[in-house]
Amino acid sequence: MLRWMRAPGIFKIFFPSFVWRYNSGAKKVYLTFDDGPIPESTLWTLNLLKEKNIKATFFCVGDNVHKYPELYQNILTDGHAVGNHTYNHLKGWSVDTQRYIENVIMASDLIDSKLFRPPYGLIKNSQAKHLLPEYKIIMWDVLSGDFRKDITPEQCLRDVLKKVRPGSIISFHNHQKTKANMQYAVPRLIDELKLQGYEFDVCR
Ligand SMILES: [Zn+2]
């Protein structure tokens, strides 16, 4: 399932109104964590971000917010940004537009945000059209590959470092399956990017 999360470059041509990267020219990066909040990973992430004194953006699944409201509250209390990632982590291409939009609205009862990220990066034109007046659709230009079983944590880190440039939106996950790669790569990535003079900001 997780392998579908790569967004081919061609999507950028079809969806120019989505945010793929921030082009302000500032030497900033935007760390994002999808699919939480979950106890196995989100608390660890929050502690790390606190220790490194940086902010990030969490694209939350409504059902997880419903299950772990305290964790969700912790994200907000720590000053991070949140975004809507549907209620049931729906794959846009596999469901009709009405069901998709209803699922986003259901999540919006729990997640107060005007940011949206489609699960798997897959969304139909008709679904995007419905959401765009309300939401800023935030994609990424650096997909960490933390969900890949065929790479080592070291390679995950190397791949991200190779792709990062000013304004990059970097995608990681708060998911059980991505824990090993993510927990190795993110702290080292933060340290290295700080050394290179990058600042960390939240999506908006
Ligand atoms: Zn997701």
The active-site residue out of 34, 35, 146, 159 is 34
- With a CB cutoff of 8 Å and minimum separation 6, the contacts of 74 are 37, 42, 43, 46
Residue ranges of domains in the chain, CATH in brackets:
19-200 (3.20.20.370)
Based on the residue annotation, tell me whether 85 is a catalytic residue of this protein. Answer: no
pLDDT confidence band for 2 (50 / 70 / 90):
very low
136-151 pLDDT, tens digit per residue, is 999 999 999 999 999 9
- The set of long-range contacts for 10-17, using a CB threshold of 8 Å and a minimum separation of 24, is 11/121, 11/139, 12/139, 14/125, 15/123, 15/128, 15/137, 15/139, 17/128, 17/132, 17/137
pLDDT at residue 59 above 70? yes
Residue 147 CA to ligand 1 center (angstroms) comes to 10
102-143 pLDDT, tens digit per residue, is 999 999 999 999 999 999 999 999 999 999 999 999 999 999
The active-site residue out of 85, 173, 175, 201 is 173
Question: Position 199: which residue type?
Answer: E
Residue 169 CA to ligand 1 center (angstroms) comes to 15
Preceding omega of 8 cis (within 30 degrees of 0): no
